[in-house]
Structure 1
Amino acid sequence: MTRYDLTGRTVALTGSTGGLGIALANALRDRGANLALLDLDAEAAQAQAEKLGGDTVARGWGVDVRDLAGLQTAMHEAAAHFGRLDVAVAGAGIDTMAPLATIDPAAYERVIDINLNGVWRTFRAALPHVEPQRGYLLAISSMAAFVHSPLQISYTASKAGVWAMCDSLRLEVRHLGVGVGSAHPTFFRTPMMDDVTADPAGHALWGGNSKGLWKMVPLEKVIAGIVRGIERRADRVVVPRSLTLTANAPGLFRPILERVGFRPQTVQRALGLASASGWHDPAVHERHQAGSR
């Protein structure tokens, strides 16, 4: 497969100042891409752009992925500023962890609106600019699209929905020469994941993510996989690649994973430790609400 050279191309990235967003922006800039950095925090996005080389190669916009009109304006301005828009990466996302019976409905709806609807809005706003370039759309999903854990109904539903959305959209735009992919990393270290591991319910459920099925992989490995996926215009990116079979056959492996990874006593313990807000530290939740996992 011919490598999709990123040199001189423009990539729009939502959630640019999150844990994944910062590392991915750095890697894309190293590949020679120009960057439209879209984040809820406009000042942070612009400061990020300055660190990456300033307006000629990177520029920040304050954008809420719950606002379609705002995304459309930012994408239009980015395409005008750089002269083109080739790739859009929908990276904004949040998490919450609480059982259906006690989670604040607003928390549930917020996750769905940012993680799932936010991807739709991002792609809707980017497509008119990406289409003339026969470019590529990528959504950051998760292995949670295939492995559905308890206490994360909103998160797993949103990530599975993103996967399905990308598969459907690919069929809609393939005749235009536009590629569509979804990225599915396992656990990796970000500020958002730090809060998950500090949450008593999260620690009970995942065991600190230090070993076994739920062990974290290095952020660098995730970024390398995503960049490689963009350069291949891949339909699906799985990190680590050793989990590809699991991603390809969720129906086959789900009962085994649930039996081994979520033993009844573990789930019951996590249920008892879960907070009503669905987040261990509300301040962290607000600070990283537009970050990426």
Structure 2
Amino acid sequence: MLHYDLTGRVVAITGATGGLGSALARELSARGARLALLDLDEAAISRLAQGFGGEQQAKGWRVDVRSYEHLQAAMGAAAAHFGRIDVVIANAGIDEVSPMATMNPDAFERVIDINLSGVWRTLKAGLPHVARQRGYLMAISSMAAFVHSPLQAHYTASKAGVWAMCDSVRLEVKHLGVGVGSVHPTFFRTPLMEQIHADAAGVKLWGGNKGGLWRMISRDEVVDGVIRGIERRSDMVVLPAQNTLIAKAPGLFRKMAERLGFKSADIVEAIALAERELTLT
């Protein structure tokens, strides 16, 4: 089985000061990776970076994933500082529990902008650097990509979109030697989950995540799964593993359709044609 050694690799993480982001940073550092920590909270990102043994091991940049220019500048600065970027993890995300009937349209658009468009911006900004290393792009999605809860149209749409986007981008960058993976954990303890548990509607929907289908798993289990996914350059990481059938059922025939419908040479030529059209407009 492929083992993508993290020792000496440079990993850029958005949402780095969040519950999952900071836990991933600690485990990646323990495995010898160097860290480009990207987050909106400048003070928090500075404190986090200081805990990893100096700027050659970890450095933070303030980034708003709603701005491609922010991400592009930060990725460029990180690549200049460390000399490379091998892995990008698009981890920034938000949620709220709200039905369509009463949800403010601005709130819906904010979730989509951060959770979906923000992932696209992150992967796009990181791709030129990762392509030079024939590295790996990873997006943190959710089991919500496949199991669509009420009062969560904004969140489930964004996470399903991330899953679909990763599948499409994977085909586009395969010839560059770049891998693309999406991560689909069930509920686990984060500040985001604490907000949901403070919301009466969220508690009602998922029963406080105390058992059954909505049982929470540990954050360590998620971190271990993400790291394993990077080391294997996995297309999809499902956590816990027993949810794999649920996750893979919607895309049961996707691989077959890709093999039959999209030849690698045709994809490369189509990209070249699209780029040519862009230069002519």
TM-score (norm 2): 0.88
Kindly report which structure 2 residues correspond to 1:50-129, keeping only aligned pairs within 5 A, or say none.
50-129=50-129
CA distances 1:169-191 after superposition (whole Å, capped 9, x unpaired): 00000000000000000000011
What letter is aligned with 1:58? A
Contact 1:39–1:63 (8 Å) recurs in 2: yes
Could you tell me which residue of structure 1 aligns to residue 249 of structure 2?
249
Contact 1:14–1:89 (8 Å) recurs in 2: yes
Could you tell me which residue of structure 2 aligns to residue 231 of structure 1?
231
Q: State the distance in 1 between where 2:166 and 2:27 align.
A: 23
Q: State the distance in 2 between where 1:163 and 1:251 align.
A: 10
Could you tell me which residue of structure 2 aligns to residue 220 of structure 1?
220
1:144 and 2:144 matched: yes
Cα RMSD for the two superposed structures: 1.0
CA shift, 1:250, in A, is: 4.0
- % of aligned pairs identical? 67
SS at match of 2:225: helix
Kindly report which structure 2 residues correspond to 1:128-277, keeping only aligned pairs within 5 A, or say none.
128-250=128-250
Could you tell me which residue of structure 2 aligns to residue 29 of structure 1?
29
Q: State the distance in 2 between where 1:220 and 1:54 align.
A: 25
Q: Which runs of 4+ in 1 moved over 2 A?
A: none
CA shift, 1:192, in A, is: 1.0
What letter is aligned with 2:151? L
Work out which structure has the larger RCO, using CA pairs closer than 8 Å and 6 or more positions apart in sequence. Answer: 1
Q: State the distance in 1 between where 2:165 and 2:79 align.
A: 24
SS at match of 1:169: helix
Could you tell me which residue of structure 2 aligns to residue 266 of structure 1?
none
SS at match of 1:249: helix
CA distances 1:121-163 after superposition (whole Å, capped 9, x unpaired): 0011000100010000000000000000000000000000000
SS at match of 2:151: coil
TM-score (norm 1): 0.85
Q: What is the number of residues matched between the two proteins?
A: 252
CA shift, 1:251, in A, is: 8.4
What letter is aligned with 1:14? T
Unmatched segments (≥5 aa) in structure 1: 253-293
Contact 1:147–1:250 (8 Å) recurs in 2: no
CA shift, 1:249, in A, is: 1.1
Contact 1:96–1:108 (8 Å) recurs in 2: no
CA distances 1:36-80 after superposition (whole Å, capped 9, x unpaired): 000001121111010122201000000000010010000001011
CA shift, 1:2, in A, is: 2.2
Could you tell me which residue of structure 2 aligns to residue 7 of structure 1?
7
Unmatched segments (≥5 aa) in structure 2: 253-281
Could you tell me which residue of structure 1 aligns to residue 47 of structure 2?
47
What letter is aligned with 2:134? R
